[in-house]
């Protein structure tokens, strides 16, 4: 999900995310080579491949979001987009808005996909570990 209103993300949350990322990087560097055999070292056939991210959208609905996301997020009151499923299981574009009145400015369909609008009064707030 993309979030438009970056002011809602507190500095503390950003620092925590950065610290978690650094801890993961340090942990990954410390575990390289431990408990893993080099390809072919056990005499068996090596099955090693590098991860290559797919530059293309992974599904058609992802492509719709990439092409139309900036236009949706430019609508005043839209705070997030994503994809969801309808009641019958079909793909749909998900649009989070601050107020019900924003619904009328959001298209009902986008490139053949229905658009589901969800009102999030007050927007998104970061949750602390104690609030769970």
Q: What are the pLDDT digits (tens) for 84-99?
A: 999 999 999 999 999 9
The Cα–Cα gap between 78 and 7 comes to 14
End-to-end CA distance of the chain, in Å? 21
Q: What are the pLDDT digits (tens) for 5-59?
A: 555 555 567 677 777 777 777 666 655 545 555 555 555 554 445 555 556 657 8
pLDDT category of residue 71 using cuts at 50, 70 and 90: very high
Q: What are the pLDDT digits (tens) for 111-121?
A: 999 999 999 87
**Where exactly are the structural domains of the chain?**
2-131
- What torsion do the CA atoms of 29, 30, 34, 40 make, to the nearest 10 degrees? 10
Write the CA distances from 118 to 3, 9, 16, 23, 67, integer angstroms.
Answer: 14, 20, 28, 35, 21
């Amino acid at each position: 999900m993309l979030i438009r209103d970056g002011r809602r993300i507190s500095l503390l949350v950003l620092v925590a995310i950065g610290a978690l990322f650094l801890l993961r990087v340090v942990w990954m560097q410390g575990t390289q080579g431990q408990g893993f055999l080099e390809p072919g070292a056990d005499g068996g056939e090596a099955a090693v491949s590098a991860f290559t991210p797919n530059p293309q959208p992974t599904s058609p609905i992802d492509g719709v979001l990439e092409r139309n996301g900036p236009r949706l997020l430019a609508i005043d009151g839209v705070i997030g987009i994503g994809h969801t499923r309808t009641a019958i299981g079909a793909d749909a574009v998900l649009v989070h808005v601050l107020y019900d009145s924003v619904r009328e400015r959001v298209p009902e369909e986008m490139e053949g996909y229905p658009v589901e609008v969800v009102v999030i009064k007050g927007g998104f707030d970061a949750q602390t570990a104690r609030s769970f």
